[in-house]
Structure 1
Amino acid sequence: MATSLPPAPGHGVADGAPLIGRYAGSPAQFDWRGLRAPWQHGPLWTRLHHKRWHYVGIASSELFIGLAIVDLGWTATAFAYLFDRAQGRLLGDWSQDALPGLQVQIADAPLHGARARFRGLGSRLQLEEARGQLQLAVDVRGLKVQATLDLPTAPPLLAIGPIDGGSVHGTVKTTAMKIKGWAEAGGRRFALDQALAALDASNGLLARHTAWRWASAHGKNIGLNLQQGYFGTQENALWLDGDLIPLGAAHFEFDPAHPMQPWRIHTADGLLDLQFTPEGLRAEDRNLLIAASHYVQPIGRFNGWVRAAPGAPQRTVADLLGVTEDHRSRW
């Protein structure tokens, strides 16, 4: 396995400044307490702007499961859903708000030592690393999951970068991880032993207004993570036969008013050109007066091509299952 990226540092800060860049691997933790001016802000600002989340996507020929535990500093939330590909609909779709610290805890360790827990009214989610595996448990209205995820053999991507209107953000993305376990929704039980999972562990001091477009899809030999918006090009990456390849700026061409129509996604460096065909979606619009969000996550297939370097042969991408996302938050 190869990459042109340097190895991940143990922490995200050195000499008072964030270690801005893209790396192969995962830090021990995200700890922004060592930041100094101009990156440092007061305790109240930091409390309100510090956002942490763990997201897991699980894909198989039968289904796609998406779930997240999110700490927004002043509040917290979680969601989980199961999309049945044969029926083309969500069998389980749940979300709930909670109190950070009391009902939600997210450790600053993104991968090794990761721990994210949600305890709400009649709802339990937990993702915890132990002995080189991630233990996942979901017990919410309409959906249950019990699974064990192997940590990835391909290098994760670590991205650290500045945030306009905020301070700094860090994220760890994995490509396909093997999984064993089961899920229950809609009166059906699904085996997950042929599925693959991917993790997004993010931690940053973000702006009050944050927006992004995102794409994530992971198979046995090809995986991708693309973002256009608040984080620039920092987290754009391709995994090809286990190698981690940084990508240039991503461009998302789609109709926000009709997200179930096809999307085109390509990168400025000419290494990726894909069409995304949605099969279904999860969407949620919320307005809490002091905060609001618009979230659309279509589930579907990516087709097109990628390549490892300029001038390298194109590799066909055929029916790679994943998601795109159109997200805007005032938080």
Structure 2
Amino acid sequence: MPALPRLINAAGQPSYGLFPDGVEEINYLDFDLRSVMDKPRSQLAKRFGANQFQFISLLSAELVVGVAIVDLKFLSNAFVYLYDPRTQRFDEFSFMQPLARNTRIEPRPDTGLARFEKGGNQITIDAAAEPGVRRLQVALADGTRIDARIDEAPSQQPLSVCARAGYAGWVFTRKTAARVCSGSVSWRGQRFDLRQIGALAAVDWTAGFMRRETFWNWGSLSCRLPDGRRLGFNLAAGVNETGFTENGLWLDEQLIKVDMVDFQFDRSAPLAPWQLRSADGQIDLQFAPVGCRQEKRNALLLASNFKQHFGQYSGVLRLPGETLQIADAWGLVEDHYARW
């Protein structure tokens, strides 16, 4: 089946549910946004009320990379972090732009362009220039460079879902994990060939009218099994689960849906293990944090308490027809509170 051309229909309402063939355009400005007392909101309110972000991870036993572009309209920000598990070297870079200056995220999850610039720092995520490829390019003022080509061949099965958010909003998200990638990372005098180190990519593309105050826990994995198959997952709790969930795992190109997931962790002990278990029994994992990219902001209108841990997963995945044991596989978890 062809992809849904537009998420918002002629009546100004979003289509809810799972979209196996994707959605071409998230035309959020066509949404009939109303107050909780049913009063129509202005076009300006729609423009400033919608949030968008894109996050990409590159994971291997030799290098962990996280890159994000976030457009909150009143403010935009971007971050890049890199971690070398062998040397335990960690660098992070964070940038902000008032009124989302020099920030652009096109509303097309599969074929759009995202870009952030500030000073001598540029981040571009381009899914339009080359069919079947999402290209991540980072050029930072300190000399750090990333040029990654992520395979998005037609055989992939992204997890695309739209769910209600609060009384008047909705969120669309498109997730993939364990995607083959090639290219290079240059950082602190070292050059990493992404194909040679076996790096795999995960992509998170999200947009919508989110709850004014929200939180989520999230987990992501991209690794290879001993038999060579690629294994990835996207798991979340606290958001995007009003009737549907964004929980799924991938074995090579196959997407397997996962039920609700419970995240058990101690917020006061950031390096203590996490437990992740799904209601359907497919997920029974422990996550051991190694490090964290974190940021706290508490402004008049906006607030964020963000912690994204990188570390290693171990445990059991009980899938239809087989049970998988994983040990010390690199991945991410996140604990995030936001007011926007």
Structure 2 length-normalised TM: 0.88
2:293 alignment partner, one of 282, 296, 310: 282
Shift of 1:208: 1.8
- C-alpha deviation, 1:43, in angstroms: 2.3
Contact kept, 8 Å, 1:30 with 1:109, in 2: the verdict is: yes
TM alignment of 1:1-331, pairs within 5 A = 8-14=3-9, 15-36=11-32, 41-90=41-90, 92-100=91-99, 102-111=101-110, 113-129=111-127, 130-132=129-131, 133-142=133-142, 143-152=144-153, 153-164=155-166, 166-193=168-195, 194-220=198-224, 221-232=230-241, 233-309=244-320, 312-331=321-340
Secondary structure of the corresponding residue to residue 105 of structure 1: strand
Q: Which has the higher contact order (CA 8 A, sep 6+)?
A: 1
Question: How many corresponding residue pairs?
Answer: 322
- The 1:289/1:34 distance shift into structure 2, 3 A limit, reads closer
Secondary structure of 1:48's counterpart equals: helix
Opposite residue 146 of structure 1, the aligned amino acid is D
- State the alpha-carbon separation in 2 of the partners of residues 319 and 25 from structure 1: 33
Contact 2:16 2:161 (C-alpha < 8 Å) held by counterparts: yes
How far, CA to CA, are the matches of 2:275 and 2:112 in structure 1? Answer: 34
CA separation of 1:109 and 1:56: change in aligned 2, threshold 3 A: same
- AA paired with 1:173? K
**CA-based RMSD:** 2.0
Structure 2: which amino acid aligns with 1:12?
L
Query: Could you tell me how far apart the structure 1 residues matched to 2:279 and 2:2 are?
Result: 25
Task: Write the letter of the residue equivalent to 2:283.
Answer: L
Instruction: Give the CA deviation at 1:106.
Output: 0.5
Does the Cα contact within 8 Å between 1:177 and 1:196 map onto a contact in 2? yes
Any idea what SS the aligned residue of 1:44 has?
helix
How far residue 46 of structure 1 moved from its aligned partner, in angstroms, is 1.8
Residue ranges of structure 2 left out of the alignment (5+ in a row): 225-229
Amino acid at match of 2:187: A
**Are the equivalent residues in 1 in contact too, given 2:13–2:32 (CA < 8 A)?**
yes
| Distance (whole Å) between structure 1 residues aligned to residue 167 and residue 214 of structure 2 | 9
TM-score normalised over the length of structure 1: 0.91
What do residues 181-221 of structure 1 show as CA deviations (whole Å, max 9, x unaligned)? 11122332222122111111111111221210000112242
User: How far apart are the structure 2 equivalents of 1:229 and 1:169?
Assistant: 13
Change in 2 beyond 3 A, CA 1:303/1:175: same
Determine what percentage of the aligned residue pairs are the same residue. 32
Whole-Å separation in 2 of the counterparts to 1:305 and 1:174: 21
What is the identity, as a one-letter code, of the residue corresponding to 1:287?
N
Q: Distance in 2 between matches of 1:161 and 1:7?
A: 21
User: How far is the alpha carbon of 1:170 from its aligned partner?
Assistant: 0.2
Q: Which structure 1 residue ranges, 4+ long, deviate > 4 Å from structure 2? A: 37-40
The letter for the 2-side match of 1:291 is L
Q: In 2 relative to 1, CA 151–306 (structure 1 residues): closer, same or farther, beyond 3 Å?
A: same
**Residue segments in structure 1 that go unaligned for 5+ positions in a row:** 1-5
**In structure 2, the residue corresponding to 1:320 is in which secondary structure?**
strand
